[in-house]
Amino acid sequence: MSAVDEHHQVVDRLAGKIIGIIGGTGPQGRGLARRFADSGLQVVIGSRSADRAEAAAAELGSSVRGATNEDCAETADIVLVTVPWEGHRSQVEALAKELAGKVVVDCVNPLAFDKMGPFAPSVPEGSAAEQAQMLLADATVVAAFHHLSAVVLLDDEVASLDADVMVVGDDREATNLVQDLAGRIAGCRGVYAGRLRNAGQVEALTANLIAINKRYKAHASLRVTDI
C-alpha cells in the first residue's frame, strides 16, 4: 500500500456527503461533476441561473442535480468553487453565509492572457484560495483540482485519468477529505502538497501547463513521483 493510499483505508470520509460545485456549468465544473457522479457521489452543480444549472445537470446523468449557487452552497457538505477568476471575489463573498462551517475547495486558476500567451497575474492575497479564506472566515478553504484538463474530464473515451491532484490547505481533516475526493476520480490520486500559503504557485502553474499543451498539442497534467 502506498503512503498516499494508506489513510483511505481507515474510513470512507465521503459516505453520505453531497458535493456542490459553484459555477458548475463551466467545463471544469461539469467535468468534475461528471467524474464524481461516476464514482457514486451525489453532486449538485450551481449557477446564477437555476435553469442553466438544471439543463447542464440533466446532461450529466441522474446523480447530478442543478440549482442556484446559493441553493448549491446551502445543500452541499463539500463545496467546490470553479468560477472564472474575474468573478471569484464577488461570487465567493456573496456566498459567505451559505458556506459557513463547510469545507470549500477552491479550484480557480488566476490567469491572464496577452499576445505572448498565458501568465499568472499578481493576486494581492497570494492566491485565489487565500482570497477565498479571507472572505470566508467561517469556512475551511482547501485548494485543489487545478491541473486537470476539462476536455479529458468530459471525454467519454477516457476511463481513467493519468494525473495527480495537489491538495493544499492548513486543516488536516479538510485536506484528508479533499484527497479522498480527488481519489474518487478514476486514475487520480489526491496528494497533500503543503499549506494554503503555498497555493499561489500551484494555481499559477496552470499557465505553464497551457504553454505545454500548446507546444505539444496535449492535455497535460502532472504526476508526483516517488510517493
Residues that bind a second copy (CB under 8 A): 3-4, 116-120, 149, 152, 162-163, 166, 168, 191-195, 197-198, 200-202, 204-205, 207-208, 210-212, 215-227
Q: Shortest gap between Cβ of 212 and a second copy (angstroms)? A: 6
Q: How far is the CB of 211 from a second copy (least distance, A)?
A: 3
> Which cell is 71 given?
441553493
- Please tell me the distance from the alpha carbon of residue 45 to that of residue 32, in angstroms, as a whole number: 10
Return the sign of the alpha-carbon dihedral for residues 14, 162, 46, 130: positive
Residue closer to a second copy by CB (options 21, 204) is 204
**From CA 144, how far away is CA 4, in angstroms rounded?**
16
Nearer to a second copy, 10 or 215 (CB): 215
Task: Report the nearest approach of a second copy to the CB of residue 19 (Å).
Answer: 24
Nearer to a second copy, 82 or 221 (CB): 221
Of the pair 101, 216, the CB lying nearest a second copy is at 216
Minimal distance, residue 216 CB to a second copy, in Å: 4
Q: At what angle do helices 50-60 and 27-38 cross, to 10 degrees?
A: 50
Contact 41, 213 (CB under 8 A): no
Phi, psi of 179 (to 5 degrees): -60, -40
Report the DSSP beta bridge partners of residue 141.
104
